[in-house]
Structure 1
Amino acid sequence: MSMISARWSRLALVAAVSAGWVAAAQAELPAQQQEQASGWFRMMVGEYEVTALYDGYTTLDTSLLSGMEQDEILRHLDALFIDAESGVQTAVNAFLVHTGENLVLVDAGSSACFGPTLGQVEKNLRASGYAPEDVDTILMTHLHPDHVCGLADENGDAIYPNAELRASQDDADFWLDKERSQALPEEQRAFFTMAQDAVAPYQESDRFSPFEQGDELLMGIVAQDTHGHTPGHASFMLNSDDDSMLVWGDVVHNYGVQFADPSVTIEFDSDPEQAASTRQAVLESAVADKYWVAGAHMPFPGIGHIVEDSEGYRWLPIEFGPVSSDSE
């Protein structure tokens, strides 16, 4: 064999071996993994430990928004790289607050009321190191199903067996009035029925007590009147040391649009004009007082600050970091 032939033979052998290694590596490559990590995020507000709990997401069509032309809505969303043609992905978050004396859940997520992309609050609460039995107080911003259905399991039993459930008197009067809801057309009853079924096990065990707006519900936790989205919608101001956080429920649904123009409302608002007025007031307060905001429908973990910009307001999400009072 000539020297040239030998050289080509060696090159052919190397190529064949390399091809074999590549083929073997490709054959052993695992499938892509589609699951995400557990949906919880923890920070401190003064001495209070706050854990954001991800319930999941739903998709909302931009046609649900009023007060802005559709092409302008799409312009705002496109500027944030949000493709809204098939709907806007909208998070559902709940928040667990450890005050040192109480373990407080704010909202409970949607359980099975809205399909498989939601219903993860209990799972993520456990993943975060707590158990439903540890929760002693549940505060509801309002009684819409994506916040209240997670109170009870599929058998109608309380998921949080040791917790006192609290909602505003105005929301309780509106959503839990069975005579009123039965008088409505059938297609309008669903939200009422889901709220009544979820609250029922707490009422039956004498663990449901409404509050009035402005009440200090626990040390350092005050209910603030933010009605409009529902008749008794409430937000909760947490105050510890020199730090504060407003857990604001559904003050904002679509951050890509409603920060730019707070007058934009959503079809689920019971009083759209009041909802817009409330949103404007809360945003102004959040900018002026620089407190943390925790939103039920902000991108997970739903925690951040509000600042003004040239068009209106802007969301500054919290960065992942150490769990300490210096996390801001």
Structure 2
Amino acid sequence: MQTRRSILKSTASLGLLAALPSAAFAKAPLTGTQAPGFYRMRLGDLEITALSDGTVALPMAQIYQGLSAADIGAYLKGHFINEKSEVSVNAYLVNTEERLVLIDAGTGDIMGPSLGKLVANIEAAGYRADQIDDVILTHVHADHSGGLTTADGARIYENAVLHVNATEAAFWLEASPEAVADTTLGPQIVQAHANIDPYIAADRFSTFDNDASPLPGIGSVHRPGHTPGHSAIVLKSDGEKLVIWGDIAHGDALQFDQPEVTVSFDVDQPRAAATRALAFAEAADQAYLVAGAHHAFPGIGHIRRDDTNYDWVPLSYRANY
């Protein structure tokens, strides 16, 4: 039985609905994009900003080496990783309050539209490319150096000095004719010159020795195998330590259980496997933070031992630091 009170409530509800804009019931288009890819954390007195260059779908069952494709595929499926895995490409910006130092430079425009987002995410994080004082590469592969220059050869980080391990620089920039003629290495050497030569020409290029400091207060550890001069970059402040280790591992699963598994991109696969075993053991024993270029963004976490060798433990998200 309707009462005066219930009739008034119904009338008021109808009036409210009529007052709402019709757009509230309209269909909304799908966007297909994520929020800007940056994540900040504090390391002692340093501010670290993880930056996403994007992700790329790769057939990791074919790229991983050392096991049969069937075994790799079964392992990945068991970890809910598709045949074509979405692999992150990450870089890291260090604010010392005196300098802005970028570690790795992403892909630029050379590896497709799902990548090449680094500069946009630097800007989203509140900085500009021309504010960066130094760029340090863990190594010269195109997914780490492709974002150094534009398609017409202009330096993106026009005020920065580019720092590269001396062994790494010699391998790519002083390559033998045989290496240049190699069908695998040759195109990579050409690309390395395109990415780095503009910094050399502008006198904005510097090399550092194995295990030496690229800059005061920033160290390196020579981790060869993936490339000859592949180097992890070491940050320490107020008793805390973060090792930005480039391509020690690809992905968050298989290589932690089986460090002997390599990737087809490794220049020296046996040495890359030995280096990975050493890096995993050290990170687990010393319990410092690591940041990986190809761990799921933001790519920062710890390594712990488990009953199948090691496990990757991502850093918990924090809204504030």
Does the pair score TM above 0.5? yes
The corresponding residue for 1:79 is: 78
Q: Does the CA-based 8 Å contact 1:136-1:164 persist in structure 2?
A: yes
Task: Give ranges in structure 1 of 5+ residues lacking alignment.
Answer: 1-16
Decide which of 57, 60, 64 is 2:58's aligned counterpart: 60
SS at match of 2:170: helix
Decide which of 92, 96, 111 is 2:93's aligned counterpart: 96
Could you tell me how far apart the structure 2 residues matched to 1:165 and 1:192 are?
A: 18
Could you tell me how far apart the structure 2 residues matched to 1:217 and 1:170 are?
A: 13
Is 1:44 paired with 2:20? no
Could you tell me how far apart the structure 1 residues matched to 2:160 and 2:178 are?
A: 27
Q: CA deviation at 1:166?
A: 0.7
Is 1:157 paired with 2:151? no
Query: Do the aligned partners of residues 323 and 196 (structure 1) sit closer, same or farther apart at CA in structure 2, a change above 3 Å counting?
Result: farther
Could you tell me how far apart the structure 2 residues matched to 1:254 and 1:191 are?
A: 22
The corresponding residue for 2:166 is: 169
Q: Does the CA-based 8 Å contact 1:138-1:163 persist in structure 2?
A: yes
Task: Give ranges in structure 2 of 5+ residues lacking alignment.
Answer: 1-13
Query: Do the aligned partners of residues 182 and 250 (structure 1) sit closer, same or farther apart at CA in structure 2, a change above 3 Å counting?
Result: closer
Q: Does the CA-based 8 Å contact 2:251-2:296 persist in structure 1?
A: no
Is 1:287 paired with 2:292? no
Q: Does the CA-based 8 Å contact 2:169-2:207 persist in structure 1?
A: yes
Q: CA deviation at 1:235?
A: 0.5
Could you tell me how far apart the structure 2 residues matched to 1:57 and 1:154 are?
A: 20
Show the 5 A alignment for 1:155-234: 155-177=152-174, 180=177, 183-185=180-182, 188-234=185-231
Is 1:28 paired with 2:22? no
Could you tell me how far apart the structure 1 residues matched to 2:320 and 2:118 are?
A: 20
Kindly provide the amino acid, as one letter, of the partner of residue 155 in structure 1: D
Could you tell me how far apart the structure 2 residues matched to 1:70 and 1:178 are?
A: 33
Kindly provide the amino acid, as one letter, of the partner of residue 100 in structure 2: L
Is 1:312 paired with 2:309? yes
Bigger Rg, structure 1 or 2: 1
Q: Does the CA-based 8 Å contact 2:253-2:312 persist in structure 1?
A: no
TM-score (norm 2): 0.90
Q: Does the CA-based 8 Å contact 1:144-1:195 persist in structure 2?
A: yes
Q: CA deviation at 1:25?
A: 7.5
Q: Does the CA-based 8 Å contact 1:43-1:322 persist in structure 2?
A: no
Identity, in percent, stands at 37
Kindly provide the amino acid, as one letter, of the partner of residue 247 in structure 1: I
Query: Do the aligned partners of residues 198 and 167 (structure 1) sit closer, same or farther apart at CA in structure 2, a change above 3 Å counting?
Result: same
Q: CA deviation at 1:33?
A: 2.4
Could you tell me how far apart the structure 1 residues matched to 2:70 and 2:209 are?
A: 41
Q: Does the CA-based 8 Å contact 1:263-1:276 persist in structure 2?
A: yes
Aligned-residue Cα RMSD (Å) equals 2.5
Q: CA deviation at 1:120?
A: 0.7
Residues 163-187 of structure 1: CA distance to partner in whole angstroms, max 9, x if unpaired? 1101111111111126537741456
The corresponding residue for 2:121 is: 124
Q: CA deviation at 1:29?
A: 2.6
